[in-house]
Chains A and B, each alone.
Chain A
Amino acid sequence: MSPVKLKYKPTSGGRETTHIDAANSELRQIRVDSIDRNPENPRILFRQGELEQLLESIRLYGVQVPVSVYRDHGRFILIDGERRWKCALKLNHKTIPALVQDKPSPIANLLLMFNIHALREQWDLLTIALKLPTVISLMETELGASPTESQISRQTGLSRSVIRRSKLLIDLPEKYKNQILTELEKPKSQQKLTEDLFIEMERALRTVETYMPGVIENKNRVRDTLISKYKKGLIPNIVDLRKIPKIARAEAVEVDEARARSVLQILFETNEYSIEEAFEASVSEAYLERDLVTLAARIDRLLDQIEVLRPAEIDDEIRSTLSKLVHHAQRILEASE
């Protein structure tokens, strides 16, 4: 693992370090009982099914990969390996192999967590989101100004898109964050109210607020309505939520804004009205028309390119593609006559 170098100075004196280098650490067998979990670990969810599998593996083969810890007041604090440690503890192992490192500064500790875990395995987005405000606040203290998205990305190792998605979740009212947490405790296959659902919903509602102010009077009520429609199957797919911003931007496809506004108002009321119905009743045709215009323009550009092709330049692959094109064009023309 390459060292994580942090440009920040330590926040307190003593033996804390801002430069964590696993190569300088010491591999030892340490007592399982002398380890504590890292309070800064953003990972707060440990699904039992996954733990059970690891438990059986460690029972049979032992801990094959050392955990990483640092010393603190005579104890060891985990940097990496909470699940392995929990399993070793459960199996009453006396010791566990560990890489003992220097104590990091608070921000180095937190950023290390992100760099070790979030890059190595798929974390639940909400767990990242819940810790991001702490990261941002610590970085603010160090920098003396709010960090930019790219600075956060560089230090945490998270992509900017993950940071943006996390921010959408951070801003959710507690009630919805708790709903996601409850859902995340279930095995992946049984999760219904996923982080993706809330992210798509928030994006859609933000667009509506921007393009059609006043349509959403009570955002929580709208959220509850959409969640209820999703649970009932009236919104069969999360991707359907992307049609809401399209309705909100009705003006872009020259559809009467008042009509789109009224359709959204009905959609956001508790009833049996689906997104698909709202889309059909407002902007569906206009978007189809716009798509056809775009398609025609593309075909024009393609024809220009085909015209300049010389037969000698055509290989088997292009010949086959051209013949497919002719075949499809003929079929469409015949059907439309």
Chain B
Amino acid sequence: MTYRILPTHLHIYAEAVKKYFKTHKGITSFKTEEPIVRDGIFRHTLTAETKDGHYICVEVSESAYIDTLDAVVLDYRNKILPVKLYVAIPKTATNTNLQKQLSQARKNGVGVLEVDEKTGDIIHEALSQSLAGLRPIDLQAFPPKYRAPLSDAANTFHNGNPAKGCSMIYDEIEALTRRIASKTQKKGCWKTIPKLKIDKDPWANVLEAMMDQLNASACSCPELKKIFLAKILGITSLRNETGHKIQRRADLVKRDKRLRTRFEEATDLLLDLINASKPLHV
């Protein structure tokens, strides 16, 4: 393979990277110093495509992260490109800023691989950039009991299972909805009591009953209006949507874009619901 950009002394490490990906991830067909899309803003040392539509990009470098990668990562996120970006550093590299670079790489979802002439060790895995661009959750805005589940949901999302990540947020919204329904019913804030098992009946049925029966001002929760509850009702159909196996990259891009928006909206909705139901102490 001919490298036009990579410094000569790093060529052996690029070859070691190829061996690593062949052995550990079954990827064999790497291109050298090519942009992954025509209007891409960077030519990584090695690029390949996986069967599930992801791009694998590897930057062979003595630094675990360089400032220019900020712009590259941003470009991938804006274009919602399913790129898993790695930086491969020689094990012998003397780098005084390694810790700082590793932390920058981790923050931006960039994987780091340590290689010698023969083999490699992963320091941390890369996230798909089409998922990594998720808006960070402001955990401090949420009551403590929600923070761990929200963190888990974000990690699940980032680690390649965005549908499950969304579903974990929906679980929290559903549980809270049922607690609100039960509490308001007990407090006598429902106009009539319908024949409904709040704990067991479908989530959508509980919400529809709340929209019909709940007197929001009577339970000191004026924000729990019909229109707000309708918004929650709108996501109940997505609650059990599971990820289908993606066959084409275009579908992967669409899915990631859709799920990123869905995750962010669901998180916002959960926070709104928590705030709206505060007087109930549920």
Contacts and interface: CB of A to CB of B under 8 A. Distances in A.
Given A59-B68, A59-B71, A90-B43, A48 B5 contact: no
Interface centre among A90, A91, A182 (most CB of B within 10 A): A90
A48 B8 contact: no
Interface string A30-67: 00000001000000111111011001100100000000
A190 interface: yes
Interface residues of B, number: 20
Contacts of B43: 89-92
A59 B70 CA distance: 11
Given A48-B61, A48-B62, A186-B94, A89 B5 contact: yes
B215 to A, nearest CB: 59
A55 B9 contact: no
Interface stretch (B33-41, B78-86, B106-114, B216-224): B33-41
Contacts of A46: 7
A91 B41 contact: yes
B4 A55 contact: no
Interface residues of A, number: 21
B63 A92 contact: no
Q: Is the interface of A mostly helix, strand, loop or mixed?
A: helix
Contact of A37 (B4, B41, B62, B67): B4
A86 interface: yes
A240 interface: no
Contact of A56 (B33, B42, B61, B68): B68
12 contacts: A46-B7, A47-B7, A48-B62, A51-B7, A52-B63, A56-B68, A89-B4, A89-B5, A89-B33, A89-B43, A90-B43, A91-B68
Given A45-B7, A86-B4, 9 more contacts: A44-B8, A48-B61, A55-B66, A55-B68, A59-B41, A90-B43, A92-B40, A92-B43, A185-B7
Interface of B: 4-5, 7-10, 33, 35, 40-43, 61-63, 66-68, 71, 94
